[in-house]
Amino acid sequence: MEARWVIREELAAQQARGSLRQLLEKQWLLPRHLVHSLRSRRQVLLNGRYQPMNTPVRPGDQVTLNFFGDEFRTAESSYVPTLSPRLSILYENRDLLVINKPAGQKSHPNYRGETGTLMNDAAGYLKATAPQSAAYMVHRIDQQTSGAMIVAKNPVVVPILDRLISSGRIHRHYLAVVAGKLQPASGHFDWPIGRDPADRRKRMVNGTQAQPALTYYQLVDSNDRASLVRLRLATGRTHQIRVHLAHAGHPLLGDPLYNPASPTERLMLHGDALRLVLPFSMQPLLIHAPLSRFFQQKLINFALTD
């Protein structure tokens, strides 16, 4: 039986001393149950041969990981592929895609068989270009928000990316236009966010089952009507940026839920930069997602510059 996913890596010249187990768990961030499976089934090879987990690794060593599918809770990707997908791909390698999601498109289906989402488009793209790969969800972006979104191409890297995001090593940066002049010019919002008991679509500060939430902000430009703001998420709560800014008295322009009286017809929130860490090599990579024409025109209309 052939492995379904094979990960081959050559260790870099600056590889630190340590055991094969330390490489897999501490450096590559593979979950322990996957490391256990690799060991018990002898599915990890060091320079072409199975070696015990306490074997030292050295620069230039070839490490091969073989996965058959039953090691994962969700090995299958069930998104219906889009036949002729149109994707703005910002970065791609063996393990992942970074896509510039347009405003108005859902990140993922909400029910089996739903189509038209970014994950459907990614599934269609990979079916045509990399049949050995498939689309796996890593994180989502609100439907009205545009910007950089990571899609995994195999289930091996999903838990690695999850851990990189939860530990803050992968950062998501946003550009937003908000009502009024935001003061002070930099700071953070750390209000807990939970469900709004009066509206199931919404979240609110100190709502039902509130969870800690942290958003950093930096004012870029402003006038009496609006401010251009850069934001970084330290946590990933639903509608986090939208709720924090609305609670601060500076709701996003074009936000139908938290600023329904806004004069702008589309949400002015864009994930313009992603500080990515590549699985296995653990190399940092800064990826920028270009603004849409609509967003650029609104900046001109408000005479705000980046």
**54 is in which domain, residue-wise?**
5-67
Per the annotation, the verdict on 142 as an active-site residue is: yes
| Shared domain check, 144 and 193 | no
Does residue 166 sit within a domain? no
Task: Say if residue 201 is in the same domain as residue 127.
Answer: no
Output the CA angle 50-52-54, nearest 5 degrees: 140
Q: Is residue 147 part of a domain?
A: yes
Q: Specify whether the CB–CB gap between 203 and 213 falls below 8 A.
A: no
Contacts of 216 (CB under 8 A, 6+ apart): 187, 188, 231, 232, 234
Q: Does residue 92 lie within any of the structural domains? A: yes
**How buried is residue 254: exposed, middle or buried, by Cβ count under 10 Å (0-12/13-18/19+)?**
buried
Q: What CATH number does residue 118 fall under? A: 3.30.2350.10
- Distance, CA of 63 to CA of 58 (rounded, Å): 10
Residue 279 has a pLDDT of 98
Task: Give the total number of structural domains in the chain.
Answer: 3
Pair (132, 192) in one structural domain:
no
pLDDT string in tens for the chain (306-residue length) = 677 899 999 999 999 999 999 999 999 999 999 999 999 999 999 999 999 999 999 999 999 999 998 888 877 888 999 999 989 999 999 999 999 999 999 999 988 889 999 999 999 999 999 988 999 999 989 899 999 999 999 999 999 999 999 898 998 899 999 999 999 999 999 999 999 999 999 999 999 999 999 999 999 999 888 999 999 998 889 999 999 999 999 999 999 999 998 878 889 999 999 999 999 999 999 999 999 888 888 887 776 765
* Catalytic annotation, pick one of 95, 142, 255, 272: 142
User: Model confidence over 10-22: pLDDT tens digits?
Assistant: 999 999 999 999 9
Indicate the residue among 67, 86, 119 that finishes a domain: 67
